[in-house]
Amino acid sequence: MTDRYAVIGNPIEQSKSPLIHMAFAQVTGQDIEYSKVLGPLGGFAPTVDAFRAAGGKGMNVTAPFKLDAFAYATDLAPSARMAGAVNAMKFEGDRVYAENFDGVGLVRDVVHNLDFALRGKRVLILGAGGATRGALLPLLAQAPAEVVVANRTVSKAQELAALALAHQGGTVPVHGLGYEDVTGAFDVVLNATSSSLTAQMPPLSATAFAPGCLAYDLTYGKGLTPFLHLARQAGVAHLADGVGMLAEQAAEAFAWWRGVRPDTRSVIAQITVPLV
């Protein structure tokens, strides 16, 4: 029997998850069906209940339902607890196992696909929302020299920094600052804000980019965003958007569901939008 999976979100038509997962199924020889589910706002739980009742084995979760999935799950992985959000669920009887693969997908894209080592590097993350929460522990596991979280609301950045320090024992310094307090140059600058979705720019100085820096926008498919444009003007040669992160977190979910991890290179090439 063909196993059923889906991605749930609202809106959902723009999702590339079916394309990605069916490509993974083809290269790994897995017999699955993968669809899009438009979840009504306020109706996440009954929609997932219906999918499970119809034999669904697992779901990816996208906006605006990652917090709903967190509340719906019976078994939360440490990654999901740290992120405070869920982007993948697996259904086994009455149990709903939940993960958040965004952070590990980001790190795998940076380290493996882009071949950019994080060990000993100064890392700046713009924004203190769910994307940053999910990214912090996988980033810290790479042993950077320092991580700075910058946010408009300074208290949110400070709370995240304290949470990260508590989880990893303080082996890597983590600081929460306002944008105006960011000083010095960084080897990696990650834009984890939603600014690129509306073609806006976080209030960041071009001096934040060190020579040889990697500028990475977690938003994907938007071309040369204002953030990446600023980085290019500052002389940054290594620019990337979140398309590799999208594929890598999908591969993590696929491996979790199916027990085999697909190669992502062909999928990344298929869905990449040139940074122009």
Q: Is 163 annotated as a binding residue?
A: no
**3-class secondary-structure state, position 190:** strand
CA distance linking residue 82 with residue 130, whole number of Å: 9
129 annotated ligand binder: yes
Is 223 labeled as ligand-binding?
no
Q: Is 260 annotated as a binding residue?
A: no
Active site residue 66: yes
Q: Is 152 labelled a binding residue? A: yes
Length of the chain, in residues: 276
Is 205 annotated in some ligand binding site?
no
Give Cα separations from 62 to 41, 69, 121, 135, 169 (angstroms).
13, 10, 30, 16, 31
> Is 120 part of any known ligand binding site?
no
Residue 132 tokens, joined: 């940053």
Is 218 annotated among the ligand-binding residues? yes
Residues 6+ apart with CB under 8 A from 25: 31, 32, 34
- Given the residues 66, 90, 121, 222, select the one marked as catalytic: 66
Q: Is 150 helix (H, G, I), strand (E, B) or coil?
A: strand
Residues with catalytic roles = 66
Q: Which segments are annotated as binding site?
A: 15-17, 62, 87, 102, 127-131, 151-156, 218, 220, 242, 249
Q: Which segments are annotated as binding site for shikimate?
A: 15-17, 62, 87, 102, 220, 249
Q: Which segments are annotated as binding site for NADP(+)?
A: 127-131, 151-156, 218, 242
